[in-house]
């Protein structure tokens, strides 16, 4: 068995692409946009690189598309393309959580208070 390798990353975004999360495959559509959006923002390489993955269920159905940002432990809901652009700019580049779209924070998470 060969041990896998992975490029370093600053954050990991997980997108729910499950059928019960959002209508019309919106989660998958957001996931598909991430590659180009990360390249455009300079988040596909370097110190701020964001790794992307998808999941079929977060167990918090509806109100999607849902995004989970690790290691920050931030969960965003009802993410549109416009909201995704703001998340990339403010959260991923500036390090500022967009509190009005957060529906859950993991243990030890810090908001912008």
Mean confidence (pLDDT) of the chain: 92
Q: Give residue 23's pLDDT band: very low, low, confident or very high (50, 70, 90).
A: confident
Q: Mean pLDDT, to the nearest integer, of 82-106?
A: 96
Cα-Cα-Cα-Cα dihedral sign, residues 44, 47, 53, 58: negative
- The DSSP code sequence of 1-52 is -PPP-----SEEEEEE--TTTSGGGHHHHHHHHHHHHHHHHT-SSSTT-EEE
* Assigned fold of 11-105: Glutaredoxin (3.40.30)
Q: What percent of the chain has pLDDT over 70?
A: 96
Give pLDDT tens digits for 34-70: 999 999 999 999 999 999 999 998 888 778 899 999 9
């Amino acid at each position: 068995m060969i041990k896998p390798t992975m490029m370093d990353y600053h954050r990991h975004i997980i997108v729910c692409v499950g059928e019960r999360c959002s209508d019309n495959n919106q989660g998958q559509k957001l996931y598909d946009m991430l590659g180009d959006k990360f390249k455009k923002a300079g988040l596909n390489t370097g110190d701020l690189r964001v790794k992307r993955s998808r999941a079929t269920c977060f167990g918090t159905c509806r109100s999607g598309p849902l995004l989970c940002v690790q290691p920050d432990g931030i969960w965003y809901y009802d993410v549109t393309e416009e909201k995704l652009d703001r998340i990339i700019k403010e959260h991923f580049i500036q390090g500022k959580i967009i509190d009005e779209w957060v529906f859950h924070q993991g243990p030890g998470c810090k908001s912008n208070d």
